[in-house]
Amino acid sequence: MSGTAGTKPIRLVISDVDGTLVRHDKSLHPETIKAAHELKAAGITLCLVSSRPPRGVEMFLGPLGVTAPHAGFNGGQIVAGDNKTIIEELSIPEEAAREAVAHMTEAGLDVWVFAGAGWYVKAPIGPYVEHEAEVTRNTYTVVEDFSPYLSITNKIMSSSKDFDLVGRVEGDLQQRLGNRASVNRSSSYYCDVTHVDANKGHAALALAKIVGVTPQEMACLGDMNVDIPMLKVAGLSIAMGNAAESVKAAAMVVTGTNDESGWADAVRRYVLKT
């Protein structure tokens, strides 16, 4: 890890979801729920940022007592606390979206397109379609052609059980798309493409502005490389104990794992300082 924990009081906590806020079985640790309510009682706002679609984090808002805006698609959509109003939305340039879909398909990955509130797939029997539908409580639509949606696409997602292939496609697309889009793995089996500004650093800064705090008053927690941009802009950056080594190196402090009470421990020790 690098640096030291910030000394300025934290007024906003921004957390990744999968691998950070929730356990591997996608449940909330009881201590995480308690710590979230302790933040609220202390007057500290909690916002969630995820590679999931915004509706994929709604199930956690009630148990955690979150009423602030949240971001999905790595910042491609920021939704108000009413879970309906879109505050900010970023779409991938159509040419880049078409190139990404074509390359992923040719490489043998299962490709999905998210546009607006819609989730579009070509093969409902894809290796992770039902898994994603269950985890995010989202509903997909089967289509023959993605073309009608590629001018308004917030996120392109591809998956495979061949994790090495997913990694190769990530590297290939980062080179091919350059600064036309952002390409990152959100897990070992998912490769995501979003607008070039749809990254968690952009999302964290946007949420801080909406809430009315400075980046120095913001703490961010994450576990994957896709979380590093928000760790870099935070006054306090926290990596989970299960995080990739590159994420730990980018963070000021490292806490326990997501299956343990790592999230709650970090909030209490470094934010609430109890």
CATH of the domain at 215: 3.40.50.1000
Check residue 139 and give its pLDDT.
Answer: 92
| pLDDT, average across residues 189-214 | 95
Could you give the CA distance from residue 161 to residue 43 in angstroms, rounded to a whole number? 43
| Residue 142 in domain | yes
| pLDDT, average across residues 18-30 | 97
- Indicate which CATH number applies to the domain containing 141: 3.30.1240.10
| Residue 1 in domain | no
Which residues have CB under 8 Å from 227's CB, separation 6+?
16, 20, 200, 220, 243, 247
Domain housing 145:
94-194
| Residue 3 in domain | no
Tell whether 203 and 218 lie within a shared domain. yes
| Residue 62 in domain | yes
Beta bridge partners of 149: none
Could you give the CA distance from residue 152 to residue 77 in angstroms, rounded to a whole number? 12
| Residue 39 in domain | yes
Tell me the C-alpha to C-alpha distance, in Å, between residue 112 and each of 132, 143, 221.
Answer: 11, 10, 27
Where does the pLDDT of residue 1 fall: very low under 50, low under 70, confident under 90, or very high at 90 and above? very low
| pLDDT, average across residues 237-264 | 97
* 8-state DSSP, 28: P
Tokens of 262: 């790592």
Count how many domains the chain has.
2
